[in-house]
Structure 1
Amino acid sequence: MKKDIDFQPVTGVKLAIVKERNNTDWNVYILNLNLIELKTVMITSKGYGILEGEKRLTSTLRHIIEELGPQSFAKIEPIDPGVFSLTNEFWVSYYILDQIFDKKFIFTPGSFDPTNFQKIPELGLEGILHS
């Protein structure tokens, strides 16, 4: 059962939502800043909130990355700016050696304010970084 699993705090793993160099496409990336690889990285994503006065819930997307090397990154999925007015949730689980790690990354609608954008050196792109 989940209550019997010893979840350690997540460190060195971040998510970024960035605008690509073509200035039209947006993508979600996972960054592994650790000095050890992550194995069996499982990611679920969904959006939810109120849009145009109605409660909205996007489809839940699931992704798996078998291995994410030390100090590397991987593209998870494209993201449509139309969902920036919703709360976007990414649940990330992965293994380091035999230990499982688990974290929920939440980007609120306010996250997408251009004043929150920053240069993300690992990607060479600008966007929102969540740790």
Structure 2
Amino acid sequence: MKKDINIPEVKDVHVAVVQEEHLEYKTQDWNAYIINNTDKELDTVLIVSQGYNETKMTPPMRHTIAKLPARSYAKIEYMQEKVLELNNSFKITFFEGNQMFDKTYLFRKNTINNKALRPLPLMQLKGVLVK
């Protein structure tokens, strides 16, 4: 039964959105990253991202990262300026050893902006972080 499945709380795994210069096009792009700030490797990281509001919804984007080493990060996706006006959710499921973890990270609409940039763990960059 569903009530018998124990999915522990996710700690020290975050999603961040960072504004970075695209070297080829000389533009400032917003990119989403997953940050593994734990001492353990994450296996089979499944990510489903989607933007939405009361009247609009983007198609879900699916991503897989086979292994995310301890104290590291990986790029999830580029985020167009238009989707920053929407709520953006990132549903992340992964395995740590034989244990499954699951968490949904939510960036509320218009919270990804230059005024919200803060230092990020591990990345040596500023961005918008959801814990």
- TM-score, normalised to structure 1, is 0.89
Aligned residues: 127
Provide the residue aligned with 1:47 in structure 2: 51
Q: 1:57 to 1:125 in 2, by over 3 A?
A: same
Runs of 4+ in 1 over 4 A off after TM superposition: none
Give the deviation of 1:128 after TM superposition: 0.1
Q: CA RMSD in A?
A: 1.5
Aligned with residue 34 of structure 2, among 11, 30, 33: 30
Task: State how far apart, in whole Å, the 2-side matches of 1:3 and 1:59 are.
Answer: 30
Equivalent pair of 1:68/1:74 in contact (CA under 8 Å) = yes
Q: 1:39 to 1:46 in 2, by over 3 A?
A: same
Identify unmatched segments of 5+ residues in structure 1: none
Provide the residue aligned with 2:94 in structure 1: 94
Equivalent pair of 1:27/1:76 in contact (CA under 8 Å) = yes
Equivalent pair of 2:37/2:121 in contact (CA under 8 Å) = no
Please say which of residues 9-18 and 118-127 is displaced more in the overlay: 118-127
Provide the residue aligned with 2:126 in structure 1: 126
Identify unmatched segments of 5+ residues in structure 2: none
Identical-pair percentage: 37
Q: Secondary structure at the match of 1:21?
A: strand
Give the deviation of 1:127 after TM superposition: 1.4
Give the deviation of 1:81 after TM superposition: 1.6
Q: 1:111 to 1:2 in 2, by over 3 A?
A: farther
Equivalent pair of 2:37/2:122 in contact (CA under 8 Å) = no
Q: Secondary structure at the match of 1:73?
A: strand
Provide the residue aligned with 2:19 in structure 1: 19
Give the deviation of 1:121 after TM superposition: 4.8
Deviations 1:103-123 (A, max 9, x none): 000000142243321122522
Equivalent pair of 1:18/1:28 in contact (CA under 8 Å) = yes
Q: 1:61 to 1:26 in 2, by over 3 A?
A: same
Task: State how far apart, in whole Å, the 1-side matches of 2:116 and 2:91 are.
Answer: 22
